[in-house]
Structure 1
Amino acid sequence: MKFKNFPMVKMVVYGRGCFDQTQDILTPHRKADFPFIFIVDDIFKGNNALINRIPLSGTDKIVYASAADEPKTKQVDAIANSLKEAYGEVSGIIGIGGGSMLDLAKAVALMMTNPGSSADYQGWDLVKVPGAYHVGIPTLSGTGAEVSRTTVLTGPQRKLGMNSDYTPFDQIILDPELIKNAPKNQRFYTGMDCYIHCIESLTGTYLNTFSQSYGEKALELCEEVFLEKDVWDDDSDDKLMMASFHGGMSIAYSQVGVAHALSYGLSFLLGTKHGIGNCIVFDQLEEFYPEGVAKFKAMVKKHDIDIPKGICANLTDEQFEKMIDVALFLEPLWENALGKNWRDTITRKKLRAMYEKM
């Protein structure tokens, strides 16, 4: 039997205020005359409390990007090509923001050294050349993008990650102060991404002790934050940041499942953001994850969160078929959820009925 030999983030710093160590961390990796590029969520534009702390030097540059839509291959290609035209190469790429910014940074780093379009690398183990040095600094917790070996992109044909051994960050900076005061709904949707990771990993056929050890800890932290605590405080931010880390590690050696497969279809067709898309789907998955969905509904009620309904109500047959195509392409997710005979259960008719409930 051949076991999976997967990469992990090389360096991790954690602690309140550790963002101030960014310059010390980057300096040994600076190449003469080549800048560091900071890809930053444009929600922080004008937020001097954060922006003024970014350690710019020489020709270093901040590239603001919108997280209103999830990263697209054409966006990745445009940023990477402009950087190559302007500088030839860079000292590194630093992503600051939620999961979308972290995925965007990982993808741009890969495309600084690999030819063609990022769409050419949507799949498993298609990237053959290490990317530029890249650092992830999350300002939301839940996606696990800071530790995953994928960067999820929407391309011309599908929503699918660049899954490779070269995708993980070389360094992550985990500072819980950066996620303080995140909007309640956004914090919940992103936190539920972590919770759903855990449910899908811990109930999946790919489960092993490695995944289980991380997944159980992440689930414990999520339930403590979203079910047991009555007041959101610094401790909540600390715990959710570590839940995200552990949740991402859990799926590194296993997989996600039904919720993620279906939410990819929503995202591709409707542009639904990943966290809220997972919530919309998971809300309807009692058939597959009864205990997990029951606790999810309790969390929704406790935190007074609105889960959108009826987003598929007016879709055409052609649009339903496209979403089904996207979902069915994610075979490892279905196999993890239901085993090697998953096609006996998951038919196009079944998926159509499931989408119609959303």
Structure 2
Amino acid sequence: MTFKNFPMVPRVVYGRGSFDQLQEILIPKRTQNDAPFVYLVDDFFEGREAFLKRIPLEENDMLIFVSANEEPKTQQVDTLRDKILADSTVFIAGIIGIGGGTILDLAKAVALMLTNPGSSADYQGWDLIKNPAVYHVGIPTISGTGAEVSRTAVLTGPAKKLGLNSDYTTFDQVILDPELTTTVPKDQWFYTGMDCYIHCIESLNGTYINAFSQSYGEKAYDLCQEVFLKDILSPEEAQNKLMMASWHGGMSIAYSQVGVAHAMSYGLSYLLGTKHGVGNCIVFDHLQEFYPKGVAEFKEMVRRHGVAIPKGLCKDLTDEQFDVMIDVALSLEPLWENACGEDWKKVITRKKLRTLYQKM
């Protein structure tokens, strides 16, 4: 029997204010004269001078603001890669992603595409990347996606939404500074936090579950319960715990898999551009059949925090549009096998998926 030999982030700094150690971390990596670092930063921070002054820019470094309003796309990755290469005639020292899951996935993907030929769409799948990425650092400014720890960079391509899943995708360095999440709007905080919660539910209830995944998943689940179901935490404690829940939730699915909510939300995202965390919530709200306890608890979290889950997204879709979403969802076979077992195709039919989508 062959067991997965998956990569973990080799270096991580955790602590409130730890972002200010970035310069110290990068200095040893500036091994060639004038080799620039490229900072991909959520454009939420554009014009926020107090924060921008903390970024240790050297003379030749590049600072590129990126919108996180849409899910990351293969074309966007290729365009960023081409811009970086066009603006620099020297070796790229590394990529630093500062933002939420969208920016972190873009940073991982761009780092890979600086060393692998062709389009990022060519590498959507499992273990298609052949060459190691350039040095890359992830600095999350919102908690929940697990993108800071995962071996995938999820991208929407011309034909599908699927990650660049490889041993080379994982960040070389991560900085976990809960202070950076202070400015996150409440709805976004909730939707992204629920991404982590749903990671836990799908991992812990999946057929791929094992002691490794379970140990991380249970811890992440407990932390999510503290953050979203208890009122005893200070804002700082909640930020600290949710950042660690995100890390542990990402680790849990690294050695197992997600399930129904993620598979179906990929369909929503591909067709309608629905943001990942929001899409997961829209789908999970209707999955009592698969995760009865988790969905009941999720509904209580929604009630407690007064967040409105969008409804009616699919009410005016055509047959062709439903088919597109269903095709995307069904293409994610490992997720369905984890959720329903080896015989998942007997349970998950096109008719069943359409019925579920029609409720959303």
- With normalisation by structure 2, the TM-score equals 0.98
* Structure-1 residue corresponding to 2:153: 151
* Structure-2 residue corresponding to 1:172: 174
Alpha-carbon offset, residue 230 of structure 1:
5.5
Cα distance in 2, alignment partners of residues 272 and 196 from structure 1? 17
State the superposition RMSD in angstroms: 0.8
Cα distance in 2, alignment partners of residues 161 and 257 from structure 1? 15
* Structure-2 residue corresponding to 1:73: 74
* Structure-2 residue corresponding to 1:23: 23
Task: Encode CA deviations 1:323-357: one digit per residue, 9 max, x unaligned.
Answer: 00000000000000000000000011111101000
* Structure-1 residue corresponding to 2:9: 9
Task: Encode CA deviations 1:69-101: one digit per residue, 9 max, x unaligned.
Answer: 011000000010111122243100000000000
Task: Encode CA deviations 1:187-216: one digit per residue, 9 max, x unaligned.
Answer: 000000000000000000000000000000
Alpha-carbon offset, residue 54 of structure 1:
0.4
Code of the residue aligned with 1:29 in structure 2: it is K
Cα distance in 1, alignment partners of residues 233 and 294 from structure 2? 23
Code of the residue aligned with 1:347 in structure 2: it is T
Code of the residue aligned with 1:26 in structure 2: it is L
Alpha-carbon offset, residue 49 of structure 1:
2.1
Cα distance in 2, alignment partners of residues 115 and 87 from structure 1? 18
Matched, 1:283 2:285: yes
Cα distance in 1, alignment partners of residues 78 and 170 from structure 2? 19
* Structure-2 residue corresponding to 1:133: 135
* Structure-2 residue corresponding to 1:340: 342
Task: Encode CA deviations 1:236-293: one digit per residue, 9 max, x unaligned.
Answer: 0000000000000000000000000000000000000000000000000000000000
Code of the residue aligned with 1:237 in structure 2: it is Q
8 Å CA contact 2:227, 2:233 repeated in 1: no
- What SS does structure 2 have at the residue aligned with 1:146? coil
* Structure-1 residue corresponding to 2:60: 59
Pick closer, same or farther for the CA change 1:181–1:43 going to 2, 3 Å.
Answer: closer
Alpha-carbon offset, residue 10 of structure 1:
1.0
* Structure-2 residue corresponding to 1:227: 229
8 Å CA contact 2:12, 2:175 repeated in 1: yes
Cα distance in 1, alignment partners of residues 345 and 151 from structure 2? 27
What count of residue pairs does the alignment treat as equivalent? 358
Alpha-carbon offset, residue 231 of structure 1:
5.9
Code of the residue aligned with 1:330 in structure 2: it is L
Cα distance in 2, alignment partners of residues 85 and 287 from structure 1? 51
Alpha-carbon offset, residue 159 of structure 1:
0.5
- What SS does structure 1 have at the residue aligned with 2:35? coil
* Structure-1 residue corresponding to 2:330: 328
Cα distance in 2, alignment partners of residues 64 and 266 from structure 1? 26
Cα distance in 2, alignment partners of residues 87 and 10 from structure 1? 28
Cα distance in 2, alignment partners of residues 144 and 82 from structure 1? 27
- What SS does structure 2 have at the residue aligned with 1:141? coil
Alpha-carbon offset, residue 32 of structure 1:
1.8
Cα distance in 2, alignment partners of residues 228 and 49 from structure 1? 33
* Structure-1 residue corresponding to 2:300: 298
Q: How does 1:198-213 map to 2 (within 5 A)?
A: 198-213=200-215
- What SS does structure 1 have at the residue aligned with 2:240? helix
How high is the sequence identity, in percent, across the aligned residues?
69
- What SS does structure 1 have at the residue aligned with 2:149? coil
Task: Encode CA deviations 1:13-38: one digit per residue, 9 max, x unaligned.
Answer: 00011000000001111132210000
Matched, 1:270 2:272: yes
- What SS does structure 1 have at the residue aligned with 2:4? coil
Structure 1 segments (4+ residues) deviating >3 Å: none
- What SS does structure 2 have at the residue aligned with 1:116? coil
Question: Which runs of no fewer than 5 residues in structure 1 stay unpaired?
Answer: none
- With normalisation by structure 1, the TM-score equals 0.99
Cα distance in 1, alignment partners of residues 332 and 309 from structure 2? 25
Question: Which runs of no fewer than 5 residues in structure 2 stay unpaired?
Answer: none
Cα distance in 2, alignment partners of residues 111 and 9 from structure 1? 19
8 Å CA contact 2:207, 2:340 repeated in 1: yes
Cα distance in 1, alignment partners of residues 233 and 253 from structure 2? 29
Cα distance in 2, alignment partners of residues 291 and 32 from structure 1? 57
Code of the residue aligned with 1:32 in structure 2: it is N
8 Å CA contact 2:203, 2:258 repeated in 1: yes
Code of the residue aligned with 1:23 in structure 2: it is Q
Alpha-carbon offset, residue 61 of structure 1:
1.2
* Structure-2 residue corresponding to 1:40: 41
